[in-house]
Amino acid sequence: SWNLDNQRVLKVQSWRGKTFIDIREYYEKDGKQLPGKKGISLNSTQWNKLKSIISEVDEALEAI
pLDDT above 90 coverage of the chain, percent: 95
Instruction: For 5-34, write each residue's pLDDT tens digit.
Output: 989 999 999 999 999 999 999 999 999 999
- Residue 6's pLDDT is what? 87
pTM assigned to the model? 0.79
- The size of the chain, in residues, is 64
Instruction: Residue 23: name the closest of 8, 7, 5 by CA.
Output: 8
- Residue 61's pLDDT is what? 96
**Domains of the chain listed by start with CATH number:** 2-63 (2.30.31.10)
- C-alpha gyration radius of the chain: 14
